[in-house]
Amino acid sequence: MALPSRSTGLLSAFGSVWIIGVGNEELYRVDPNGNKITATIDVGSRPGALAAGEGSVWVLNEGDGTVQRIDGTNGKLVASIDTGTVGKGAIDVGGVIWVNSRLTPIIQIDPRTNLVRGKIKVETGEYSTIRYGGGSLWISGASIRRIKPPD
């Protein structure tokens, strides 16, 4: 299946495959059974990472520091949240939405309000991936760090 743009960021969630169209700053929703694009959603500058949870697909836009929340059932934009995390980063869902980049603290987004709830100052250096599991945040790069998030 050809895409309208070169792509990155691939996610399977809510019965669809979601693909970032980097060249066009779009998110493609693909029907895995019909192998065709069923929705094209405009996203922010330089979309770079995806996560799913809380009924939504979350897109981290590395060019403008926003996170966009897309409804997982209808593909509509729910919210655009300014995080200030410009540059290469990562996103995950675990109780809250977790966003990190090399240059900013870890950001917590409350999925009930779609607002930044807090920031965790962590020396991340070259760390680039964040995941939530086992009650902790896991940040990887040249090594791995485990962080117990605040309540």
| CA–CA dist 107, 59 (Å, integer) | 14
Which pLDDT belongs to residue 123?
64
Which of 117, 116, 123 lies closest to 139 in space, CA to CA? 123
Q: Where are the domains of the chain?
A: 7-147
pTM (whole model) above 0.85: yes
In CATH, the number for domain 7-147 is 2.130.10.10
Q: Residue 17: phi, psi to the nearest 5?
A: -110, 135
**3-state class of 95 per DSSP?**
coil
Which pLDDT belongs to residue 126?
64
- The pLDDT tens digits of the residues spanning 17-53 come to 999 998 899 999 999 999 999 999 999 999 999 999 9
| CA–CA dist 105, 84 (Å, integer) | 10
Residue type, 140: S
